[in-house]
Structures are given as structure tokens and as C-alpha cells.
Amino acid sequence: MAAQAVTWLFVPATRPERLAKAFAAGAHAVIADLEDAVDACDKDHARTQLETVLQAGCPPPWVRINGVGTPWFAQDLALVHSHRSALAGVVLAKTDSAADLQALDVDLPVLGLIESARGMLALAEICRHPRITRLAFGAADLSADLGCEDDWDLLWPARLQLLTHCAAAGLPPPVDGVTMALQDPALVKGDARRAARAGFGAKLCIHPAQLAPVLSGFAPTQAQLQWAQRIMALAQQAGSGAQRVDGQMVDRPVIARAQQILQRASLRANP
């Protein structure tokens, strides 16, 4: 399910043979990419390649389609309509407004990519739109739009806005953006752990080698698990009123945090 997937792995639609490999590598959600991974001159070829795989039958991937204002949106949407039963959902690039979601017009789960200043300013209306299943943070594109570096600290205010709007709308925790490093598992794990601490529930990946570090980064530490288990054991014995554990006051918000930690551990094991 979209709300539970922790690792979201992009595969270029021009390389459809990699879809099966992505599933075999253990990605919770696989995204056939018709947008950034495909040059403008190859869009039609990529769409044809993807259609061939979908017609042949495979585990249902998500598909990232080009944004509403691009020349390729209409044909991408036609592909989605034609192969709806073979797809798990749609990732909408450059989700900038509720009008974009209205134009999407699909009966499938939708992951909206927030990757522009316009999208950030429209978060309230985007989060309220009935087509949205979950949101993802497009750090690279947003940093380019803002003219800043793709740096965690610089983009933290934008991430916090996204987290706040998703929580207020009752959406699942959003999906954090890509770490561009392909051969630095420590960096990928660190970014994933930082995202998990901030409140994100998943991360976009661009290579199978990133899957294990992301899962490790999102997994609670042993100390966190033991703490959460102690808190929940106390709550079961004494109820949800204020109690004292290890010199710490424990009340409803603390119990809720313990439940979140245990849920993270469960989702990692059973996405």
C-alpha cells in the first residue's frame, strides 16, 4: 500500500527490463519514470517501451508522468487510462496546484511531487484534494527553482511546511527526496535517519544499492525500540494517564510517540 511503502525506487521507462529487477531487489514501490529520467527526444519511445511491459504482465509499478503544463502530459495520461489495471498508481511531477490534480482525472492512488515554489505555496489546497494519496518532496527541483543548494539545512523550512500540511490534512507521512550519491551508503543512511527523525515516512531512491541503507536509516534503533516497548507496557498496565518512567513524565503524547516507533519497526518488516 502507498501509505506503508518506505522505499520508492525510480526506474527509467526506457529501461523496462529493470522493473522486474527493482521488485526483486526489494523496493516497496517501483516507479517507471517518464519524466526526469527520459530526454525530451525519447518520450514517445519510453512510453511505447513501458506499454509493451505493461501489456506483457508484471508486478504493477507506479508511473511518474510529466507535469500538467508539459507537451507530454496528455499522452502520458492516455497511457495511464489505457493500462489502469496494470498500474499501482501515478506519481505526478510538478504538482503545483489543485487544478493540476483535477486535470489528472485518474481513478488510481496519486503521489504528488512537491518540487517548486508554486507547489509549496499551494500545499493547503493540494493536501485537501481528494485525489491525493500521499506527497513527496522533490528536493533537487525545488532547490533549482529557489536558486539554492540542495542541502538539508537550507531546505529544512520547506520540508517542515510539507510535514505540517500533510499532518494537518490527515495524510500519511510524506516521502523525502532523493540522495544523489550512488556509492555512499553511509550518506544515504544518514539522510534516511534524518528524514525519519523529522517525521517523513519514506524516501525516494534512484538505485537498488540505496534500498538497504534507506531501510536501515528508517528503522528505529534498539534503544528506541526498548524504550517504546517499556512505555507501551506501562500504558497497558496503568492506562494513558500521566506516569513516571526512568525519571521521565509519560502521558498521552509520549505514548503516541512510542506507538509511532513500534509502527515504524513493523512497516520496515512488513511494508
DSSP string covering 62-76: EEEEPPTTSTTHHHH
pLDDT the model gives residue 4: 81
pLDDT the model gives residue 236: 72
**Domain membership flag for residue 2:** no
Is 226 found in the same domain as 110?
A: no
pLDDT the model gives residue 228: 65
Is 78 found in the same domain as 157?
A: yes
pLDDT the model gives residue 122: 98
Q: By the 8 A CB rule, do 62 and 87 touch?
A: yes
pLDDT the model gives residue 60: 94
pLDDT tens-digit readout, 221-247: 666 676 667 777 777 766 555 566 565
pLDDT the model gives residue 85: 94
Q: By the 8 A CB rule, do 250 and 244 touch?
A: yes
Is 227 found in the same domain as 111?
A: no
Is 260 found in the same domain as 214?
A: no
Q: What's the total number of domains in the chain?
A: 2
| Residue segments in the chain with a per-residue pLDDT below the cut of 70 | 1, 3, 221-224, 226-228, 237-251, 254, 260-262, 264-271
**Domain endpoint, select from 218, 237, 260:** 218
**Domain membership flag for residue 166:** yes
pLDDT the model gives residue 3: 66
**Domain membership flag for residue 82:** yes
**What range defines the domain where residue 254 resides?**
222-269
**Domain membership flag for residue 1:** no
Q: Say what the pTM is.
A: 0.86
Q: Give dist(CA 264, CA 217) in Å, integer.
A: 11
